[in-house]
């Protein structure tokens, strides 16, 4: 079985500072990367910044600095955000790096060599904000301004000499590929949208611009720069040192396991990108997953709308792990979601402080008083104990399958349910009434400690810093976390010391009007 896993976030466009939408994509990608690592996979996790195009050039001009300096400053804020969000990414790519330029120009040459590029004239609508071309049918007018219907961004009419990619040539191949690979585009609703778009007829795509200079030059045609999306998408290859197909990174990790993206860039990833790859005779990624937006009210967050929610503000008030937990639990993955302060506080109080933190403290405090702070003996599990423990053993393969289907909701619901049952078990078993039956008391405590360990291992990809603290109960560090071990009931060794821990999550005093 292939135990290599390559996950990518969209590379972020650094025309402005990061917002909650960027944080969401990154946190979810980090969750999958950490899960796969604890399941024994060799993981390559890529994020980065997409730094070319007219939008960047204009933003730099407004600040009266050159585009490279502008990109250096803003890209650093995204790199800093990766640290702030405690991402476990193995690489951070910038499209202004030499390794990337080399790959893009090589890909261009391959497309040209295979007769998939020709020179003509472009005339049509272009959105600087989206860095995208639109047909007449995709345009409407609002307050005398032409806008793209899908994004609401303003468009301008452009006429200039341009190189074109023969996208129309790949229409049938793409449709065949979608049919043969039903999981290539997820979730299903997004796949239907893409198939409908492709069946509507693909037109050849303008892939160079002459009206501005900030971009990678077209080989042998220095007055053209390569269209930002052909440039940007190639990052997934340049990070693996393509075109060196003998490079270890490329051999291990291409094709990518999953490109995790926001739904607004689905067309680029599920139509243009596979067509470029087909034309260059490069294998396609295994999956493109288009998740929903984090909304501000009912609208997508954007700088132009001035409705940006800064993840750093939330982290400062509530801490990082509560934000990570909230985004993974409360946003139904694949759909749009809102940040609600009220629901975030409920998550912290109910799930993290009461259900998880309180369970850890109650059981360890009881073990300190009644088991001399040692892991008790575990030889006499009864049916009630095994019902609790076997929940993990019986569902381990299903957990893996659901994660491979990006079903985060199943995963988090499983944990919440296990926490509820673990608390109920400890209450119902009443070990404090079993002081005359030492074997039974020991088994209840052992079972409860095992439940804490199993749940903690599963929570690690979601709230890694908190779990690092929680594992001090068992004198374990995060290197000990192994998903397979949640199927075992004898992981904890009798007689080993256990520790009480400080409060993991402070309850929030809710403000009532």
C-alpha distances out from residue 136 to 140, 161, 272, 364, Å: 8, 20, 20, 66
Query: Which DSSP category does 400 fall into?
Result: H
Length of the chain in terms of residues written: 513
- Residue 152: the pLDDT is 86
Mean pLDDT for the chain overall: 92
Q: What is the pLDDT of residues 104-129, one digit of tens each?
A: 999 999 999 999 999 999 888 988 88
Give helix 358-370 / helix 438-459 axis angle, nearest 10°: 150
pLDDT bin (cut points 50, 70, 90) of residue 68 is very high
Q: What is the mean pLDDT of residues 425-451?
A: 96
**Cα–Cα distance for residue pair 142/146, rounded to 1 Å:** 6
Count of C-beta atoms within a 10 Å radius of residue 307: 14
Stretch 217-234: mean pLDDT: 94
Taking residues 409-420, report their average pLDDT: 97
Residue 459: C-alpha distances to residues 187, 316, 352, 392 (Å): 24, 22, 11, 13
pLDDT of residue 298 exceeding 60: no
Burial of 383 (0-12, 13-18, 19+ CB in 10 A): exposed
Of the listed ranges 233-242, 373-382, 437-446, the least confidently predicted one is 373-382
Beta strand pairing call for 288-291 and 185-186: parallel
- C-alpha 11/C-alpha 232 separation (Å) is 8
Instruction: Kindly tell me if the per-residue pLDDT of 343 is higher than 90.
Output: no
Condensed to tens digits (0 to 9), the pLDDT of residues 458-477 reads 999 999 999 999 999 999 99
Q: Could you tell me which residues are beta bridge partners of residue 6?
A: 44
Q: Would you state the pLDDT for residue 305?
A: 53
Residue 471, φ and ψ in degrees, nearest 5 = -70, -10
Q: Helix or strand or coil: residue 75?
A: helix
pLDDT the model gives residue 470: 96
Who wins on pLDDT, 427 or 304? Answer: 427
At residue 326, does pLDDT exceed 80? yes
Per DSSP, the residues of 200-247 read T-PPPEE-EESS---SPEETTEEEEEE-HHHHHHTHHHHTTTTT-TTS
Lowest pLDDT segment from 56-60, 63-67, 454-458: 56-60
Q: What is the pLDDT of residues 267-292, one digit of tens each?
A: 999 999 999 999 999 999 999 999 98
Using CA atoms, how far residue 295 sits from 288, 305, 314, 505, in Å, is 22, 12, 15, 27
Cα 414 from chain centroid (whole Å): 20
Place of tokens 């790096």: 97
Return the pLDDT at 309.
63
Percent of the chain past pLDDT 90, that is, above it, reads: 75
Say if residue 297's pLDDT is above 60.
no
Using CA atoms, how far apart are residues 207 and 205, in angstroms rounded to an integer?
6
d(CA 443, CA 377): 7
| CB neighbour burial string for 335-360, b if at least 16 within 10 angstroms, e if fewer | eebebeeeebbebbbebbbebbbbbb
By DSSP bridging, strand 337-338 and strand 294-296 are: parallel
- CA distances 173 to 176, 180, 279, 305, Å, are 5, 11, 10, 39
Question: What residues contact 65, with CB distance under 8 A and at least 6 apart?
Answer: none
Supply the pTM of this predicted model.
Answer: 0.92
Report the distance separating Cα 501 and Cα 364, nearest Å: 8
Bridge pairing between strands 288-291 and 205-206: unpaired
May I ask the CATH architecture of the domain 341-487? Orthogonal Bundle (1.10)
**Region 414-441: what's the mean pLDDT?**
96
Cα separation, 462 vs 416, whole angstroms: 13
Mean pLDDT of 96-105: 97
> Which tokens hold the place of 381?
């599990």
Name 241's Cβ contacts closer than 8 Å, sequence gap at least 6: 99, 247, 249, 250
State the greatest distance between any 2 C-alpha atoms of the chain, in Å, as a whole number: 89
CB count in 10 Å sphere of residue 90 = 17
Q: How many CB atoms lie within 10 A of CB 312?
A: 18
Quick check: 513 pLDDT over 80? no
pLDDT band for position 301 (cuts 50, 70, 90): very low
Give pairs for 238-241: CB < 8 Å, separation 24+. Answer: 238/93, 238/97, 238/99, 238/100, 238/102, 238/103, 238/104, 239/46, 239/48, 239/91, 239/93, 240/6, 240/44, 241/99
- How sure is the predictor about 304, in pLDDT bands with cuts at 50, 70 and 90? low
Structure tokens given for 74: 């803003």
Q: For residue 333, name the pLDDT band (cuts at 50, 70, 90).
A: confident
């Amino acid at each position: 079985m292939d135990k290599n896993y390559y996950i990518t976030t969209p590379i972020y466009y650094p025309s402005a500072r990061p917002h909650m939408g960027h944080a969401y994509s990154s946190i979810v990608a980090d969750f999958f990367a950490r899960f796969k690592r604890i399941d024994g996979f060799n993981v390559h996790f890529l994020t980065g910044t997409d730094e070319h195009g007219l939008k960047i050039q204009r933003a730099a001009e407004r600040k009266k600095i050159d585009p490279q300096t502008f990109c250096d400053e803003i890209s650093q804020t995204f790199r800093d955000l990766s640290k702030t969000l405690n991402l476990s990414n193995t690489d951070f790519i910038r499209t202004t790096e030499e390794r990337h330029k080399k790959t893009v120009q090589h890909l261009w040459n391959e497309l040209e060599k295979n007769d998939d590029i020709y020179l003509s004239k472009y005339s049509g609508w272009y959105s600087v904000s989206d860095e995208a071309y639109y047909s007449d049918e995709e345009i409407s007018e609002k307050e005398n301004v032409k806008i793209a219907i899908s994004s609401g961004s303003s468009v301008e009419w452009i006429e200039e000499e341009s190189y074109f990619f023969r996208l129309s040539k790949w229409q049938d191949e793409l449709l065949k590929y979608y049919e043969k690979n039903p999981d290539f585009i997820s979730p299903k609703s997004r796949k239907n949208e893409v198939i409908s778009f492709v069946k509507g007829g693909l037109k050849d795509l303008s892939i160079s611009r002459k009206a501005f200079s900030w971009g990678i030059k077209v080989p042998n045609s220095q007055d053209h720069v390569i269209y930002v999306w052909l440039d940007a998408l190639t990052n997934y290859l340049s990070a693996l040192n393509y075109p060196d197909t003998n490079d270890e990174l490329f051999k291990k990790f291409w094709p990518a396991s999953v490109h995790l993206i926001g739904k607004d860039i689905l067309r680029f990833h599920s139509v243009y990108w596979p067509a470029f790859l087909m034309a260059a005779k490069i294998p396609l990624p295994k999956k493109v997953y288009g998740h929903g937006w984090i909304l501000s009210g009912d609208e997508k967050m954007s700088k132009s709308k001035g409705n940006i929610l800064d993840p750093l503000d939330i982290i400062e008030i509530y801490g990082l792990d509560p934000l990570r937990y909230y985004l993974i639990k409360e946003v139904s993955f694949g759909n749009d979601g809102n940040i609600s302060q009220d629901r975030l506080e409920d998550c912290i109080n109910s799930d993290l402080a009461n259900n998880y933190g309180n369970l850890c403290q109650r059981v360890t405090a009881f073990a300190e008083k009644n088991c001399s702070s040692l892991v008790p003996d575990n030889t006499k599990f009864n049916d009630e104990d095994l019902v609790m423990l076997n929940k993990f053993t019986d569902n381990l393969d299903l957990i893996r399958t659901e994660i491979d289907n990006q079903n985060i909701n199943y995963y988090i619901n499983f944990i919440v349910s296990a926490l509820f049952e673990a608390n109920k078990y400890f209450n119902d078993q009443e070990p404090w009434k079993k002081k005359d039956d030492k074997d039974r008391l020991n088994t209840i405590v052992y079972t409860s400690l095992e439940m804490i360990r199993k749940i903690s291992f599963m929570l690690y990809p979601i709230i890694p810093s908190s779990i690092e603290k929680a594992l001090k109960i068992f004198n374990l560090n995060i290197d000990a976390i192994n998903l397979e071990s949640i199927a075992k009931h004898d992981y904890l060794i009798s007689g080993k010391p256990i520790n009480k821990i400080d409060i993991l999550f402070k309850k929030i005093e809710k403000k009532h009007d």
